């Protein structure tokens, strides 16, 4: 039928006749124009943002020294880069988005559940939550620029949110929507501007932290009060606790990275760009986060792990404006790369005849307002449960996808079979990959056991546990079913 391992020779009309829109058909060589530099700048904002800086405060409470936390953050970058590069290879080789890579792994019917959980539920919910988190910083900034801004409406609320907070949310939402609606081209321009600002601002803030603390030695020797609840692990396990936490944050992008690598000029471009970008970003992040947070704590006279609180204690208005502004930009970048773009592509894949990428952006953005994320953030516990559940699911999904592409198909995808009408009776397409589904479900169930107090340790290492278990089970089931099928065919042949 088609040539395995090579791009299909059919033009766009071939796919459109089968109900596919241009956003999910294989990208042609002429459409793949993202260079190594584009990938180098792509994820910088996803590293340097408000939630990640706050997370470092939590890492400093698990019993490691400041220097050990810095080392752990740097080593984490290699795990993250490996995940992005490995799962992005299918996209850069064949020009296909995540939704089609998912179909090649789970079958056309089987791909719907993991696709909905990653692109629709996780993508839209995360977009709403990140937008509200960013709008809180914008709210503080607007009140500083326009004294009295916080008094608008005199405390009146609409659907549980004050009018000033709602204004800040809608402004931040509109900017995020515009970046997502513009797609990869606008995102590349945005990150190209943001990238140098991150180096300048966070590098400058790190120098400030060193200065106000009296030197690097005071930061590295700072006496940290460790947490009093939970489990304090030995140093080596605490390192893996940090690795697991950051991989959990990257579980979504790590699964759907093909949405970006499909536009790569070559596999070499995405490999060099992503590895160098992720590692360099995390080296800066490791030093800057620890120096800013501990330096700020020394400056304030008490432990303070919220970077916004530290910034707002500065006396220089312009410094506050610039630092908060860059943090807002990094949150917008994270929203586009990790949330809105995957959600839009997945909506397009689920309803290819009526939803293209831009319609998907509109649907996802409107839905992110309708779920009222400010209400979701009223109960911190429920958010943690929701996000941990999504992370527990996506670890096993990433494991199955990687095993399938590298060990089962040997990096080969037959594009013509992948894109043919799945209801064509003449074509034998596996609609659900049973082995992949069983492996994923087992990995998810075991990962979710961490929500039970008796299995708390599983929760702390859920991504690794889910990834490894699902990978091993899938490869075992695949070869067992393969042997069983051959034996069954042999019996039939002998009977004849």
Q: Which residues contact 341 (CB under 8 A, 6 or more apart)?
A: 180, 183, 184, 187, 259, 260
Tokens, residue 270: 């995405």
CA atoms 345, 349, 350, 353: torsion sign: positive
Rounded Cα distance, 439 and 488, in Å = 23
Q: Minimal CA–CA distance to 256: which of 339, 195, 185? A: 339
* Segment (H or E) for 435: helix 434-448
Round to the nearest angstrom and report the end-to-end CA distance of the chain: 29
CB atoms within 10 A of CB 407: 14
Rounded Cα distance, 283 and 206, in Å = 12
Q: Minimal CA–CA distance to 402: which of 428, 431, 436, 430? A: 436
When pLDDT is cut at 50, 70 and 90, the band that residue 216 belongs to is very high
In tens, the pLDDT along 41-95 reads 888 888 887 778 878 888 888 888 899 999 999 999 999 999 999 999 999 999 9
Q: Minimal CA–CA distance to 342: which of 248, 257, 250? A: 257
When pLDDT is cut at 50, 70 and 90, the band that residue 306 belongs to is confident
Provide mean pLDDT across the span 180-207: 85
Q: How far is CA 223 from CA 239, 330, 342, 444, in A?
A: 19, 30, 42, 38
When pLDDT is cut at 50, 70 and 90, the band that residue 122 belongs to is confident
> pLDDT averaged over the chain?
83
- Helices 380-403 and 123-145: crossing angle in degrees, nearest 10, is 130
When pLDDT is cut at 50, 70 and 90, the band that residue 148 belongs to is confident
Q: How far is CA 311 from the centre of its chain?
A: 26
Rounded Cα distance, 59 and 45, in Å = 20
When pLDDT is cut at 50, 70 and 90, the band that residue 382 belongs to is low
Per-residue confidence (pLDDT) for residue 203, from 0 to 100: 92
Q: How far is CA 335 from CA 128, 210, 261, 325, 329, in A?
A: 9, 31, 18, 15, 10
Q: With H, G, I as helix, E, B as strand and everything else as coil, classify residue 404.
A: helix
In tens, the pLDDT along 268-288 reads 999 999 999 999 999 999 999
How does DSSP classify residue 117? Answer: I
* Segment (H or E) for 161: strand 161-162
Tokens, residue 389: 């559940």
Give me the torsion for CA of 51, 52, 55, 57, rounded to 10°. -100
**Contact assessment for residue 145 and residue 368, using Cβ atoms and an 8 Å cutoff:** no
CB atoms within 10 A of CB 382: 11
Rounded Cα distance, 41 and 44, in Å = 6
Provide mean pLDDT across the span 325-330: 88
Q: With H, G, I as helix, E, B as strand and everything else as coil, classify residue 158.
A: strand
Per-residue confidence (pLDDT) for residue 3, from 0 to 100: 38
Tokens, residue 232: 């304090």
Rounded Cα distance, 363 and 352, in Å = 14
Q: Minimal CA–CA distance to 274: which of 81, 92, 83? A: 81
**Contact assessment for residue 464 and residue 395, using Cβ atoms and an 8 Å cutoff:** yes
24-28, 117-121, 217-221: range with highest mean pLDDT: 217-221
Q: Which residues contact 193 (CB under 8 A, 6 or more apart)?
A: none
Beta bridge partners of 34: 264
In tens, the pLDDT along 3-46 reads 334 445 556 666 666 666 677 888 888 889 999 999 998 888 88
In tens, the pLDDT along 249-267 reads 888 888 889 989 999 999 9
When pLDDT is cut at 50, 70 and 90, the band that residue 231 belongs to is low
Between residues 46 and 476, which one has the greater pLDDT? 476
Does 386 score more than 70 pLDDT? no
Tokens, residue 76: 């984490």
Tokens, residue 465: 């546990």
- Helices 235-249 and 66-94: crossing angle in degrees, nearest 10, is 40
**Contact assessment for residue 269 and residue 36, using Cβ atoms and an 8 Å cutoff:** yes
């Amino acid at each position: 039928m088609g040539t395995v391992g090579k791009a299909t020779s059919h033009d766009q009309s071939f796919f459109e006749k089968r109900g596919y829109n241009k956003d999910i058909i294989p990208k042609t060589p002429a459409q793949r124009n993202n260079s190594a530099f584009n990938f180098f700048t792509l994820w910088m904002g996803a590293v340097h943002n408000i939630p990640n800086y706050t997370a470092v405060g939590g890492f400093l409470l698990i019993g490691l020294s400041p220097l050990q936390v810095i080392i752990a953050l740097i080593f984490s970058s290699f795990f993250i880069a490996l995940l992005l590069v490995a799962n992005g290879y299918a996209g850069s080789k064949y020009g296909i988005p995540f939704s089609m890579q998912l179909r090649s792994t789970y079958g056309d019917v089987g791909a719907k559940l993991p696709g909905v959980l990653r692109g629709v539920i996780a993508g839209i919910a995360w977009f709403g939550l990140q937008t509200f988190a960013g709008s809180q910083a914008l709210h503080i900034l607007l009140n500083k620029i326009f004294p009295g801004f916080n008094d608008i409406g005199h405390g009146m609320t609409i659907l549980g949110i004050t009018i000033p907070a709602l204004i800040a949310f809608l402004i931040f939402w509109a900017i995020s929507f515009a970046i997502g609606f513009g797609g990869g081209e606008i995102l590349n321009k945005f990150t190209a501007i943001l990238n140098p600002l991150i180096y300048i601002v966070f590098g400058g803030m790190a120098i400030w932290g060193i200065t106000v603390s009296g030197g690097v030695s005071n930061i590295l020797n700072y006496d940290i009060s460790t947490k009093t609840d939970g489990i304090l692990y030995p140093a080596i396990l605490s390192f893996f606790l940090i690795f697991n936490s950051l991989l959990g944050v990257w579980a979504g992008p790590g699964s759907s990275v093909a949405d970006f690598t499909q536009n790569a000029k070559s596999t070499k471009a995405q490999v060099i760009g992503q590895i160098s970008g992720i590692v360099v970003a995390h080296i800066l992040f490791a030093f800057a986060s620890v120096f800013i947070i501990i330096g700020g704590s020394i400056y304030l006279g008490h432990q303070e792990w919220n970077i916004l609180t530290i910034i707002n204690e500065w006396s220089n208005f312009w410094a506050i404006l610039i630092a908060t502004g860059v943090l807002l930009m990094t949150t917008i970048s994270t929203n586009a790369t990790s949330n809105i773009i995957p959600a839009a592509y997945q909506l397009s894949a689920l309803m290819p005849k009526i939803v293209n990428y831009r319609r998907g952006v509109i649907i996802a953005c409107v839905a992110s307002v309708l779920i009222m994320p400010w209400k979701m953030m009223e109960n911190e516990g429920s958010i943690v449960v929701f996000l941990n559940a999504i992370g527990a699911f996506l670890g096993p999904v990433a494991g199955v996808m990687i095993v399938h592409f590298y060990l089962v198909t040997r990096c080969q995808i037959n594009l013509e079979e992948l894109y043919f009408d799945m209801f064509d009776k003449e074509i034998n397409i596996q609609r659900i990959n049973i082995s992949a589904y069983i492996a994923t479900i087992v990995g998810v169930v075991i990962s979710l056991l961490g929500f039970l107090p008796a299995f708390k340790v599983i929760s702390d290492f859920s991504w690794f546990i889910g990834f490894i278990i699902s990978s091993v089970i899938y490869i075992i089931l695949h070869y067992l079913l393969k042997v069983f099928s051959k034996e069954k065919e042999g019996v039939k042949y002998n009977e004849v």
